[in-house]
Amino acid sequence: MTAENRSLKGTVVAITGASSGIGRETARLLVESGAKVVLGARRLDRLEDLVSELGSDNAVAVKMDVTKSADNKDLVAKAVSTFGKLDSIVANAGIGYYGGIADNTDEDLINMINVNFLGTVFTVRAAIPEFRKSHGGDIVIVSSVAGFRGGANEAVYAGTKFAQVGLSGAIDRELSPEGVRVTTICPAGTKTEFAIGAGRTEGDPALDEYMSPVDVAFQIVTSLQQPRRLRTGIWTTWSMAQSS
C-alpha cells in the first residue's frame, strides 16, 4: 500500500521572512512541488531576485514588516488578488539576540519580542478570515527547540520561542474544528544569516554542525503534504552533531 501524499499543485502559500534562509528555501521547495508562493520580507531587492528565479507566474513579492498588522493583511490580500486564494501561511520571520539576561539593549530586546511573537500573532490573525471563507487551511509557525529548553545565553530569545509554542497549541485547539491545521516547526541551530544573530560571529566552526535551511524547509513542505485528515502539532529536529 502506497502512503497517501497531498498534492500542493496549485495551492497558494504565503511566507514571511522569505528573503533568506529557511523562508527562501521553503519557497523554492514549494514551487518545485507545484505551489504558488507569496513572499513577504523587508528586503524587497532580495524578494525580487527570488521572484526572478522562481518565475512571476509562481511567485510575487511583498515588502512588509511583520510587526505591523496592516502589512500582514497586505500580504494576504496580495495572495488573493494575484492567485485568487490563500491555502497556507508560513510564519517564519524572526530575529535573534544572544547573550545573558543583562546583555543587549532594551530596544533590541523589545524589537526581538515584537518580531518573534507579536509578528507571529499578526501573521496568523491576517490569514484566519481567508481560511474561514474556504473552511480550512494550514498555519505553519517556525519556532525553535529553544521553545522547550532555553540555553544559558538566550533567555529572552527562548522566551519568545516558548511564547510561539504556547500560541500554536492554543490556536490549534481553537481552529482545528474549523479545518485549520496548525504545525509548529522547531529546529535546532540552522546555518543561516539568522544563526549569526547578535553575540555570534560569522565563521564560527560550530555553525558547520548545524542543519541547513533546506532541512527545515523540507519539514515545512512535508507537513503541508500530509493528507488533510492528519496534522502534526510539533516537529523538533536536530542535526546528528547537535545535542538534544
DSSP labels for 94-122? ---B-B-TT-S-HHHHHHHHIIIIIHHHH
Walking along the chain (244 residues) 10 residues at a time, the average pLDDT comes out as 90 97 97 98 97 98 98 98 98 92 93 97 98 97 92 91 97 97 91 56 67 93 95 87 70
**All three cell numbers of 66:** 511583520
For residue 243, is it within any domain?
no
State the pLDDT at residue 195.
52
pLDDT of residue 65: 98
Query: Is residue 4 domain-resident?
Result: no
Q: Which amino acid is residue 166, in one-letter code?
A: G
User: How far, in Å, CA of 71 to CA of 40, rounded?
Assistant: 9
Strands (E) across the chain are located at 12-16, 36-41, 59-63, 88-91, 137-142, 180-187, 234-237
Q: Annotated active-site positions, please?
A: 157
Judge whether 244 lies within some domain: no
CA distance 183 to 237: 14
Domain count, the chain: 1
CA distance 102 to 244: 26
CB of 145 closer than 8 Å to CB of 186: yes
The residue to which cell 511573537 is assigned: 117
- For the beta sheet containing 88-91, the strands, ordered from the edge strand earlier in sequence to the opposite edge, are 59-63, 36-41, 12-16, 88-91, 137-142, 180-187, 234-237
For position 150, what pLDDT does the model report? 83
DSSP secondary structure code for residue 205 in this structure: G
Residue 193 has a pLDDT of 63
Q: Residue 1: what pLDDT?
A: 77
CATH of the domain at 99: 3.40.50.720
Q: 51 in helix, strand or coil?
A: helix
pLDDT at 173: 96
Residue 127: inside a domain: yes
Instruction: Give the per-residue pLDDT at 128.
Output: 98
pLDDT for position 239: 82
Length, in residues, of the chain: 244
Q: Has residue 121 been placed in a domain?
A: yes
Spatial contact of 81 and 58, defined as CB atoms under 8 Å apart: no
Which domain range does residue 166 map to? 12-236
Residue 1: inside a domain: no
Flag whether 202 is in a domain. yes
Tell me if 172 is assigned to some domain.
yes
